[in-house]
Structure formats: C-alpha cells, structure tokens
Amino acid sequence: MENCTFSNSERVVLNYILDKGTHIQNMTIKEISEETFTVPSTLIRIAKKLNYNGWNSLKEDFLKECEYLEQHFVDIDANLPFKNNDTIMSIAGKIAALEKESIEDTLSLITHDDLQKAIQIMRKASCIHLFAVSNNLLITQEFKHNMSRIQKDVRIHGLQNEITFDAILAQSDSCAIIVSYSGETYVLDKIANTLNNKNIPIIVITSIGDNTLSRKADCTLRICTREKLYSKIATFSTDRAITYLLDVLYSCMFALDYDYNLNLKIETSKTIENGRFSTLDILKED
C-alpha cells in the first residue's frame, strides 16, 4: 500500500486507510468512498492492483496485519532499539529483550499445518537446497552444520552468479528453502521461478503479508516483521527470528527419529571431541 504506484484518487483512499488502521473494520466501501470523496470502484481497483479478488479479502488481510503490528514490540523499536544516551548495560538489556520478543513473536506466527507441511517436504527430499543473500546467507550456516550431524544433506548456494545455475541442476527429488525478509529479492525470485518450473517444492521463510516469493512457495513460514528495509541499526530482530525458525526446523527433523539421532550425535561427538575436557562440574560428561 505504501510503495506501489497508484493514481491520485487511489492514493487518497490508501492514505485514509493507513491512517485509520483497524478503525475501518466496520466501515463499508460506500462509507470509505464518501469519507475520501471518491467512488466505490476506487477501492475495487486498489484491491486488484494488490492482487486481491476483491475489497473484502484485502480488508481482511489489512486488519490482520494492523492487529499484529499493534500487539507486538510495544516498548522497543526494532529499528532503533537503543539511543545515543543509553548506558552499556541498558543497551545489553534492550538487545536481550528485543531478541526474546522476536522469538516469541515468530512463535505466534507459526501454525501447526504450515510447520507440518515444511517438515514433510524436508523429510521426503534427498537434498535440501538453501538460497539466501547477504547476512541471511551467513545465518544459514549453523542450520547446515546441525542437519549434517543427523545425516541430512543441506547445500547452501551463495555465489551470486551461480545460484540460478545451481537451481537448474537441482534434482527433482530435492526441495528448497528460500530465506528473504522482504520476499521481493530479484535474484531469489528468479530461483523460485526455476524451481517451480522443475516442480521442486519450495519452503519460503519471509515476513508477514503478501509478497512475490510467498506466492510461489509450496509452504510459507512467517518471521517477526518489525524492521524497515534500510533505516535501522542492524538486523537484530530479523536475524534472531530466522535463526529461531531454522532451529525449529532442525529440531523437528531431529525428532522424527529421536533415539537414533540422539545416539548418533553423542557417539560421533565422543569420537571427534574426545580430547575436550573441563574442570567445571556443570560441563563434565558422566
């Protein structure tokens, strides 16, 4: 609504809707058009431009998003979580609170059916291809490491000029995870098109609301969505949300064969790390 191109009359209506937020819940198309001195068909055109079948479906999603934004991060700005006059301990406390809230927020967005579908896609796949860009790509390394310890092949594709080539060569019995906060990254959109053409299942990890990648996914998992694209100190909230969601996916995969995976993890670690020791009782193995 804020970023797409609209006519002057459409922009008047959109500015009104954005300003009113959840207060439009009980308003009809006629009432909104009268308040904005436009015609009812303007709202229909807006809905069509935003890829909705009609005004009611757009209104429903808009109200859900407004409610989400009003209920989360009341006290901490995810973009500027601390100020220039904060003490170092105040900064430490605010970052801790922000990351904790990011995890809780992401948990509230997970549904059983979406998570179950993602796990089944991963379980059936001979290989999991992981596509992301920038710092999101760095976050995925730990997920690959953990999955390799339970004998699940995860391949991270990071070379910008090669990832489309990698998608083309992906085997039909594999699957893909695409991580994108905005869901509008051009190179990842090309990857999604290639994977769709090969009928390779796609799990997308992205923000709330409608975006290009979520429309092309077989399964979409939503993350905490409070950061702007650029005007922020760092991606504290997004990074923590993505890490948490990847940890959930790994843990659910682990739980599919819990006893075997636990024994495998312990026995291989004993062999690899047999030289490690500690004088602290809390770290000592039995």
Per-residue pLDDT of 128-157, as tens digits, reads 999 999 889 999 999 999 999 999 999 999
* pLDDT tier for residue 121 given thresholds of 50, 70 and 90: very high
The pTM is what?
A: 0.75
User: Model confidence over 200-251: pLDDT tens digits?
Assistant: 999 999 999 889 999 999 999 999 988 888 899 999 999 999 999 999 999 9
The pLDDT of residue 183: 93
The pLDDT of residue 254: 97
CB contact set of 171 (below 8 Å; sequence gap of 6+): 126, 127
The pLDDT of residue 283: 62
Residue 120: how many CB atoms within 10 A of its CB? 14
* pLDDT tier for residue 2 given thresholds of 50, 70 and 90: confident
* pLDDT tier for residue 278 given thresholds of 50, 70 and 90: low
* pLDDT tier for residue 3 given thresholds of 50, 70 and 90: confident
Work out the average pLDDT over 37-47: 92
- The domains found in the chain, sorted by start residue, are 8-71 (1.10.10.10), 105-269 (3.40.50.10490)
The pLDDT of residue 277: 63
Burial grade of 207 (CB within 10 A; 0-12, 13-18, 19 or more): buried
